[in-house]
Amino acid sequence: MNLGDDRLPWRYLFRLYVIGTFFGLFLPGSVGGDAVRAAAAARSSTSGGRTVASVLLDRGLGFAATVAYLALGAILVPGLLRLLRDDQLHWRAPSLPAVAIGAAAAGAAALLLARSRLVRSVWREGAAAAAELARSPRRLAYAAALSLLSQGLLVLLWNVLARGMHLDLPAVFLIWAVPVVTLSALLPVTFSGLGLREGAWLLLLAGSGIPRADIVAFSLLYFVCNVLVGVLGGLLFVATGTAPSRGELACPQRR
């Protein structure tokens, strides 16, 4: 999504996305690459606040799409919420410390950033950009549809990995389980969500009869897929940096 100036073409933004995937491997949570993309795009834009807002709104729409798939799973699987509630004793011990640490880190970061004049300026520009997007239902619907498609492809990827490992995981199970794992990996506790995904899958599949080693391997295989994309992003970063090239700036911006 690009709410910044029209100088930033899709080709350049896609390159930044792949480069951000590389940096996301070494930053807390599964959203670390967003900060790299936002900083790089803002330096190349004449509307830094709006450009940063585009990255944040992209993550916000992705979060909403993830919750939407979780809600869809609750509809397709009768009693899902009751099942999760009945397992609260199993969830409580490992999940509460991670949530507490993540909330504390987010709160501390928010207090520090709130004192920055630059951050306040970016926030004002971002709020204006978000309001502009809200006044354009067509653009908002387009962005929301892309977020739903992206999350659907993520569910499909996990399904392909499960089939490749001969794990008997029904597609309807993955529709709600993948969002739970994805949301777990957002906590800024470990690098790239490593360990959080594995823990979430171990909890979700505790009564499935699948060996724990296979569950961990299943989750790590997904991480390997991220690493492969990240390696490509690292090579792009070394070869091109994060500034737009003349050829990219010469490309007409699609609306």
Would you say residue 18 lies in a domain?
no
Would you say residue 205 lies in a domain?
yes
Would you say residue 87 lies in a domain?
yes
Distances from the Cα of 195 to the Cαs of 9, 32, 85, 199, in angstroms?
36, 16, 23, 6
Mean pLDDT of 169-192: 87
Q: For 119-167, how does the pLDDT look when each residue is reduced to its tens digit (9 = 90+)?
A: 666 667 667 777 777 788 888 888 889 899 999 999 999 999 999 999 9
Would you say residue 206 lies in a domain?
yes
Which pTM value belongs to this model? 0.75
Q: Is the dihedral of CA 74, 77, 80, 81 positive or negative?
A: positive
Q: For 20-69, how does the pLDDT look when each residue is reduced to its tens digit (9 = 90+)?
A: 888 888 877 666 677 788 777 777 776 666 677 777 778 888 889 999 99
| Structural domain boundaries enclosing 122 | 58-227
pLDDT > 90: percent of the chain: 21
Find the helix packing angle between 10-24 and 32-43, rounded to 10°: 140
Give the chain's domain count: 1
Would you say residue 178 lies in a domain?
yes
Q: Is the pLDDT of residue 19 over 50?
A: yes
18-36 per-residue burial string, b: 16 or more CB within 10 A, e: under 16: bbbbbbbbebbbbbbbbbb
Q: Which two tokens stand for residue 44?
A: 């190349």
Cα–Cα distance measured from residue 41 to residue 54, given in angstroms and rounded to the nearest whole number: 10
**Per-residue model confidence (pLDDT) at position 88:** 43
Would you say residue 176 lies in a domain?
yes
Cα–Cα distance measured from residue 36 to residue 14, given in angstroms and rounded to the nearest whole number: 13
Would you say residue 17 lies in a domain?
no
Would you say residue 47 lies in a domain?
no
Comparing 51-55, 70-74, 93-97, 219-223, the range with the smallest average pLDDT is 93-97
pLDDT band at 224; cut points 50, 70, 90? very high
